[in-house]
Structures are given as structure tokens and as C-alpha cells.
Amino acid sequence: MTQTALVVGASGIVGSAITQLLIDNKWQVAALSRQPSQSQGVIPVAADLQDPASLEHALADLKPTHVFITTWSRQATEAENIRVNAAMLRNVLAAIRPAKSVEHVALVTGLKHYLGPFEAYGKGSLPQTPFREEQGRLNVENFYYAQEDELFAAAEKDGFTWSVHRPHTVTGVAVGNAMNMATTLAVYASICKQTNRPFVFPGSRVQWDSLTDMTDARQLAKQQLWAATTPAAANQAFNVTNGDVFRWKWMWSRIAEYFDLPAADYPASLSPLEKQMADDQAVWTQIVAEHSLKEADIGRLISPWHTDADLGRPIEVITDMSKSRAMGFTAYQASDQAFFDVFDKLREMRLIP
């Protein structure tokens, strides 16, 4: 029997990775986004997650067995994040309820489950690292918690199983994505090379020196598929990272080497990318013209605010994956190669020189 998946946010870094993995595994895939691509092998579904009527109309003829929710909408405050993102998830689950076909729903959240929302990121009383799934919620408002509560309530009402996936910083390729560290660093490195600016690490000394980890979107996709098809993994939350650890002082030199740049020493003061790249549209326009690249709007490629938030943390951030490992999830991805694969793809797509 062919399994049918609905991927919500299919054009993003995470959504495009799970879409491709499902196609590779012979699933039928409906790819939902505001502006779905006409990719071969998928059913494009256009809908606004904040518009219940739009969703009901778009999903009326679909009978998905599995739903993968991989998107969110950034708002000005955490209260608005909660209101909007909880409603989006609730709207999707309500729209597919009449089909009575759903067996499993996978929700992607992240380490803000342990670190707190952006308004209180890495502040106050935090769980001890490495973060483990059994650590409880923080006593702060967090849209991840609101999304989970919507998922749990719908699962109880409709009888499907669920999984929650908590990646660290995700690497992958998607133009216009709100959180895109690998592409941001690729554009930054390209600008440094073009202008002979030093390739300066933009984060905190703690992040430079401490052990950390990351999550390749393909690794996250593998865990989502594993959890969706492994009965023992039903109704569980899982951390997911690549399976290795590194220090940014080492990774920074690896990225510099890829772009044939010298890696600058750690700077005398914090040098966030949002400040470094504030006026870089003009130089990017020049680079695009010189190399015949396909995206002239630097804002559609970079998310310096997000890269600064992740690399500027004042605490060690490392994740434990023992839970899913013990249950049989054994996939692994070297984190430096994950970056290189993104950079290679960006060059192939003519997005960086």
C-alpha cells in the first residue's frame, strides 16, 4: 500500500528535505506551501495556513496517512508567535480531520524548547547540557509548547500517533528561508573574499571555544521518516543532530578553507553579522553581476539575525541523542561535510560564486 504524506512547509529547508526523502522512498507526497513548486513527483498544494477556509478548500480531496509539519511564522513578540503558530497547526489538523485518514503527525520544533524563545534566548535558569528530552518545559511562554499542546489535543481527539523532532541549527538549501545559517555564511564568505574583508566569527567566545553540534536537514528528514514508520517511536519527542560534535574555532577554519579564505582570529569584540552585513546589498549586487548569479536580493539569501542568535549564545549548547539511538535510529552526518554539501548546491544553483 502506497503511503501518502502531506508536507506542510514543503518549500523550506526542512520541508524540502523530507519531501525528497519521501519521494526517494516511493511515497505519494502532497507539498503544501503558499507558492508550491511544480517539482516532479509531488502534488503541489497552495494554501495560507492562517486562513482556515483556504486550507479546507486546498486539502478537501486529500487523504494523507502521514503529516509532516515543518514550518512556522516569525512574529514580533512571543505572544504573537504563540497565537499565530498554534493557530496554523490547529488549522491544518482541522482541515484534514474530515478525511479520517491520518495515522501519524510529525512536528518539527527545535532547541528553543530548552533554551527559551528569542525574547529570552539562553537566559535565566536553563537545563543542564547536553539537553535531553525528559527535561521539562521552561517557565516561560514558548510557541513550541503551544504547538505541542495543539498536536497532543488533536491526536487524542482523532486517534493518530505523533512525534516531535527537536533539531539544533539546521543546514540545508532554500531561498527565502527565515533561518538559514549555511547560506548566510556562504554569502558572508563570498563578500569577504570579494572585498578582502577579514572572515570574522560573528558569535560569542563561549560558542567559539565550546563543544556544540548541528543538524543537517537530511538527517532530520531521516529521523522524521524513521519515527513515522517505527511503532515503538510513536508518541515521543526526539532530539536530532548529526551525531558528531565540534568547536566553532575548528569549523570556522573548515568553512574558510572551503572558500579559500584565511580564518581570522577571534575578534577583540563581538562582531554580529547583522551589523557587519547591514550595508552589503551593493557589493552583493556587484558579485551577482560579475558571476551571473540568480538571486540579486541579498535579503532572500541571508538571515543574519538568526545566525547571530545561534552563534552569540552565552552558554554551551549540545544535545543528547541517546533516546532515538537506543530505539534504533543510527543515521549519521559529518557536520563539516553538511556545510560543504550546502555550499556545493548553492554553487550548482548559481546562488553563490
The residues assigned a catalytic role are 112, 144
CB atoms within 10 A of CB 26: 9
Number of residues that this document lists for the chain: 353
Residues 353 and 349: their CA atoms lie apart, in Å, by: 10
The single-letter DSSP state of residue 191 is: H
Closest-CA residue to 275 (of 188, 193, 171, 352)? 188
Closest-CA residue to 121 (of 71, 160, 179, 43)? 179
Q: What CA–CA distances, in Å, run from 242 to 130, 318, 320, 332?
A: 14, 11, 11, 5
Residues 181 and 344: their CA atoms lie apart, in Å, by: 15
Q: Report whether 298 contacts 284 (CB < 8 A).
A: yes
The single-letter DSSP state of residue 151 is: H
Q: Which amino acid is at 296?
A: A
Closest-CA residue to 284 (of 200, 276, 339, 261)? 276
- Ranges assigned E (strand) in the chain: 4-8, 28-33, 42-46, 66-69, 104-108, 161-167, 170-171, 211-212, 215-216, 236-240, 246-247
**Burial classification of residue 10, based on how many CB atoms lie within 10 Å of its CB (0-12 exposed, 13-18 middle, 19 or more buried):** buried
C-alpha cell belonging to residue 95: 482541515
Contacts of 3 (CB under 8 A, 6+ apart): 27, 28, 65, 66
Q: Report whether 23 contacts 62 (CB < 8 A).
A: no
Closest-CA residue to 43 (of 16, 71, 62, 70)? 62
